[in-house]
Amino acid sequence: MNILNPNDNRKAVVIFSGGQDSTTCLIKAIADYGVANVEVITFQYGQRHAIELEKAQWIAEDLGVKQTLIDTSVIKAITTNAMMENIEITKDKNNMPNTFVDGRNAIFLLYAAIYAKGQGITDIITGVCETDFSGYPDCRDVFVKSMNVTLNLAMDYQFNIITPLMYLTKAQTWQLADELGALDYIREHTHTCYLGVEGGCGSCPSCLLRENGLNEYLSSKQ
């Protein structure tokens, strides 16, 4: 049976890393727009572990969506952090973890917008969240909204940056995955670990956030 697209055949591009959040956004986008109207952009920004890019490629192929890989690794020349260098994960005096990559989400949204306009796409989806996060300033709703206005002005184009997870806890993100019928898929196929360990190290901040959220959600179902 052919079901009419609830978004009237608009197209969307998802900023996609192969992690839990962006994969949840991708699967939701496929449900909302139809697989033929969704594609993803993955950024090679100099991340220290190739597994992230490998997972993203595998999931995009498995779900049948077009993937565009964009190299923004030039950022390594101007900043240092634990996401791109083999250094210990720590926090500074302001409690900001050194996994924060200055300017990363601004760059991602800018390049995604340039690409989207060229394809005639207005909807850009990103999995940033200010509820369960590490204090990253570029995951806040105020930043995304300001970037949306800036991009619209910069390119004289009506972009719509969509953040499905913005106010969800990690447990609620797992709940959303479950409601989409993708809980096991995301558990088995996504990568979140900062240390690049297949299946997760279980001790880095990202693994702990993911696992604690999953346990909270599963407990709530009992």
* pLDDT tens sequence across 66-101: 999 999 877 766 655 545 556 565 566 566 555 556
Please list the helix, strand and coil fractions of the chain in percent, rounded to the nearest 5, in that order. 45, 10, 40
**φ, ψ of residue 13 in degrees (nearest 5):** -120, 135
Cβ contact 111:147 at 8 Å: no
**φ, ψ of residue 150 in degrees (nearest 5):** -60, -45
Angle at which helices 51-63 and 20-33 cross, to 10°: 20
pLDDT computed for residue 77 by the predictor:
60
Q: Flag whether 129 is marked binding.
A: no
pLDDT computed for residue 195 by the predictor:
78
Beta-sheet strand order (sheet of 123-125)? 66-71, 38-44, 12-15, 123-125, 160-162
Element (H, E) at 13: strand 12-15
Q: Flag whether 135 is marked binding.
A: no
Show the DSSP H helices in 120-140 as ranges: none
Nearest to 214 by CA among 177, 170, 181: 170
How far, rounded to the nearest angstrom, does the alpha carbon of residue 162 sit from its chain's CA centroid? 11
Beta strands in 50-209 (DSSP E): 66-71, 123-125, 160-162
Nearest to 33 by CA among 53, 5, 56: 5
pTM: 0.88
Domain extent listing, the chain: 12-221
pLDDT computed for residue 69 by the predictor:
96
Q: Flag whether 139 is marked binding.
A: no
Q: Flag whether 24 is marked binding.
A: yes
User: Of the CATH numbers 3.40.228.10, 1.20.1530.20, 3.40.50.620, 3.40.190.10, which one belongs to the domain with range 12-221?
Assistant: 3.40.50.620
- Ranges of the chain with pLDDT below 50: 1-3, 82
Q: Flag whether 16 is marked binding.
A: yes
Q: Flag whether 23 is marked binding.
A: yes
Q: Flag whether 100 is marked binding.
A: no
Interatomic CA distance for residues 162 and 25, integer angstroms: 10
131 DSSP 8-state letter: S
pLDDT computed for residue 78 by the predictor:
60
